[in-house]
Homo-oligomer: A and B are copies of this chain.
Amino acid sequence: MGENDDADIIEHHVEEEMEKRGARSHAASSSSFPESVTPSDRDREGHSGTQSSHRLLAYSDALISIIATVMILPVAHTKVEDNEELRQSVQLLLTTKIAVYLMTFMIVTVAWAAHIRLFQVIVRIDDCLALLNLACMMLITFLPYTFSLMATFPENVLGILLFCGCVMVIGVIQCLIVLYAFSRPFLLNEQIQISEHQTFYREHILKVIMRVPLMCFIASIFSFIFFQLSYALLAIVIFLPYISQSLKWCRNKAIGQVEETPDSMMFYTYLPNEPLSKERVEAFSDGVYAIVATLLILDICEDNVPDPSVVEKQFGGSLVAALQVYGPEFLAYFGSFATVGLLWFTHHSLFLHVTKTTRFMGLLNTFSLAFVGGLPLAYQLTHEFPDNSRNELEAIQISCVIIFFAGIFQLAIWVVALYSEQETLHPYVRYGGREHVFMLAKLALYPCVALGTFFLTCILSKFSAPIFHLMEITVPFAFLLLRLLVRIGLALLRLIFCPDRPDTRSIVVEEDETRVPFNALVT
């Protein structure tokens, strides 16, 4: 390609310009590369392998979200017989598996939060860090298995030892990552790069990271002496930062601000209002919603294609008749997909108006996602039982409970965001904002529908799964009509209560406008 003359270069640049305007005007596509070729990088000879960490983090988020969610499959695949004798043992097994699922979800999300914190400090990567991170991911994906072992053989030390071993190796790899990154400061967060306390930061971060492997080491030693103590230690490892920091935060709120030096507070603080990368929270949530939506069709593809010989023998060669047996499952699939899709949709609407994600909001989001992850179980249950049986009713109730909690935790995120709306919400949706009521209606729709259905099942004491799934499919239309309904409702309210006062919206706009020049003055 030696014949490139000036005309070529001009053409290339014109094309680039056109492409930039032509393609989606999203910043990431244009910013992912330039970040790694800024002039300051070029000057540093030998650092040419330095890269933006964006895609590595997206991949890690995808891996972790899938790992957190797939552990619902062993739960969903447990066959629940309609037989009273077997029921006891199956229910015990089911409870164990659900506990494993929830604990795995918790542990994996804790590991994920640690990963976010680590890569809020290290903002650029090179090949070596990418490979170390992959090794870390490999061990994180192995954690669910060690957890299954612990749940199946609670009195055997092997599960504890394997789990502790994994966590210790992950800790060591994370320490290596930190040491490597601090030995090449251009990989670090700009703030730490220019800070005088770099060594202090390194020590602080290493201390925080090493705490977990150390506890696990002690737990693994105790497992030989008195294994119950090991479990207690492991539980402390996971929940200690939450408990201690919640207590500290409550105390601070109660007796007034006892500020530590802001320099040491920026990273690894575990405070409830510590910022959590919004982008990564979104990526993780997307991963969970996507895998949950597709787990459903996976089951259908594996189980619901009838065997040709069976069709020949039992249905006289009529495929339509053979597929009619699976009818309820298809309905259940479309109903569940609609529910997952719409829960994603409300999540998407919510985070579109959130400007900063805090640690506490992340925790609530995790709870919401844990229930979303339970939807494949609900799907499995609702189409498994014969019509109008007691079990079918219970299955529908379980589905309602799962959907209710998935929705109510989303609502809780918004409530928490409203609590400090100046920092975390866009003016549009703040209290009194233009979109405030509409957002509330959007977030409240699913909890309300689920609650309503739940009480309906209690009152009617019979309810058909197909009707339930048809309801699920019709909810999207409720969302389409929502904006209309909210507007009509608000207009009516305004007409009734204050027909001649100017409406609140214009006040908000005025307030907005008085605020804008001041902001411009500050920044």
Contact = CB atoms under 8 A, between A and B. Distances in A.
Interface of A: 1, 4, 6, 8-10, 12-13, 15-19, 21-33, 35-37, 48-49, 51-59, 62-63, 66-67, 70-71, 73-74, 77, 119-120, 123, 127-128, 130-131, 134-135, 137-138, 141-142, 144-145, 148-149, 152-153, 156, 158, 189-191, 266-267, 275, 277-279, 282-283, 286-287, 289-291, 293-294, 297-298, 300-302, 304-306, 308, 311, 319-320, 323, 333-334, 337-338, 341-342, 344-345, 348-349, 351-353, 355-356, 418-423, 426, 428, 430-431, 434-435, 476, 479-480, 483, 515, 518-519, 522-523
A143 to B, nearest CB: 9
15 contacts: A1-B430, A15-B423, A16-B356, A17-B523, A18-B191, A22-B191, A24-B53, A24-B120, A24-B277, A25-B190, A33-B426, A131-B480, A134-B476, A141-B294, A158-B323
A342 B54 CA distance: 17
A22 B120 contact: yes
A66 B23 CA distance: 25
Most chain B CB within a 10 A radius of its CB, from A9, A24, A142, A298: A24
Nearest to A434: B48
A100 to B, nearest CB: 9
Given A148-B301, A148-B305, A152-B306, 4 more contacts: A48-B434, A62-B291, A134-B345, A149-B305
Contacts of A320: 158
A76 to B, nearest CB: 11
Given A27-B27, A293-B141, A319-B153, A9 B63 contact: no
A-B interface, 6 closest residue pairs, ranked by CB to CB distance from nearest:
A62-B290, A27-B31, A27-B27, A134-B341, A29-B279, A28-B28
Contacts of A29: 277-279
Nearest to A71: B301
A149 B266 CA distance: 56
Given A291-B66, A422-B1, A479-B127, A55 B319 contact: no
A360 B273 CA distance: 47
A10 to B, nearest CB: 6
Contacts of A430: 1
A28 B289 contact: no
A487 to B, nearest CB: 10
Contacts of A418: 1
B319 A158 contact: yes
In the complex, the count of this chain's copies comes to: 2
A476 B59 CA distance: 18
Given A130-B345, A138-B337, A300 B145 contact: yes
A56 B22 contact: no
A161 to B, nearest CB: 10
Given A8-B422, A422-B12, A67 B297 contact: yes
A60 B397 CA distance: 30
A426 B37 contact: yes
Nearest to A100: B301
A48 B428 contact: yes
Given A4-B422, A290-B59, A435-B48, A74 B302 contact: yes
B476 A131 contact: yes
A23 to B, nearest CB: 6
A294 B156 contact: no
A358 to B, nearest CB: 11
B483 A287 contact: no
Contacts of A189: 21-22, 24
B77 A431 contact: no
A247 to B, nearest CB: 24
Contact of A23 (B48, B158, B275): B275
A451 B419 CA distance: 61
B66 A9 contact: no
Contacts of A421: 1
B19 A356 contact: yes
A28 B12 contact: no
A336 to B, nearest CB: 10
B145 A301 contact: yes
Contacts of A30: 27
B348 A191 contact: no
A522 B13 contact: yes
A119 B355 CA distance: 25
